[in-house]
Amino acid sequence: MSPLAKALVALVALASVAELAAAKNYTIQWTLKSYGDWSAANILRVGDVVEFSYGRPHTVDELSKADYEACSFANPISTDNSGPTAFTFDKAGTRYFACAAGTHCSQGQKVAITVGDGTTGGGAQSPAPPAAPKGNAAAPMGGAAEFAVKLVLGLGVGGVVLAAF
Ligand SMILES: [Cu+2]
């Protein structure tokens, strides 16, 4: 590979890292439907922004977990019906949003949004450190695998030799 090509590869790699580190903006078309799939498919990072895009009669109410599960809008953390409504997720954790109009919430117009801690896509329970012991464990496993290959090869050769007689 030429020095120029190497430099280009390095640049592309740097750009990818920068892209990963940058905050993302998500838009949710907030309407009467079920959002269970959205929260499962989108794990946010700290700094990401979610904008709910909607009009009347919908609202975006941020609720406690208990109120979210019960579709109870008596004590919202915040409420807005002026759409669009944007939220910046400035720390790890899960926040709960639902529409207060009619029975929209109980029909599925609710979403729990989880923010990972930034070291992984999925949250605080699997940060980088556990990867190190795995890496060390790979060496003995590699040795075992190599031994197994040699054993199989040896048996194969033995079989061929036996078959020749
Ligand atoms: Cu609604």
Burial class (CB in 10 A: 0-12, 13-18, 19+), 86: middle
CA 35 – CA 109 distance, rounded (Å):
6
Q: Residue 165's CB: how many other CB atoms inside 10 A?
A: 4
- In angstroms, what is the span from residue 60 Cα to ligand 1's centroid? 8
Q: What CATH number was assigned to the domain covering residues 24-115?
A: 2.60.40.420
- In angstroms, what is the span from residue 2 Cα to ligand 1's centroid? 58
Domain ranges of the chain: 24-115
pLDDT-derived band at 164, boundaries 50, 70, 90: low
CA 42 – CA 62 distance, rounded (Å):
18
Which tens digits make up the pLDDT trace of 36-66? 878 778 989 999 999 999 999 999 999 999 9
Alpha-carbon torsion, ordered 121, 122, 123, 126, to 10 deg: -90
- In angstroms, what is the span from residue 93 Cα to ligand 1's centroid? 24
- In angstroms, what is the span from residue 102 Cα to ligand 1's centroid? 7
- In angstroms, what is the span from residue 97 Cα to ligand 1's centroid? 11
Position 80 pLDDT exceeds 90: yes
- In angstroms, what is the span from residue 82 Cα to ligand 1's centroid? 12
- In angstroms, what is the span from residue 25 Cα to ligand 1's centroid? 22
- The residue ranking higher by pLDDT, 110 or 2, is 110
133 to 128, 129, 140: CA distances (angstroms): 11, 8, 12
- In angstroms, what is the span from residue 103 Cα to ligand 1's centroid? 8
- The residue ranking higher by pLDDT, 32 or 136, is 32
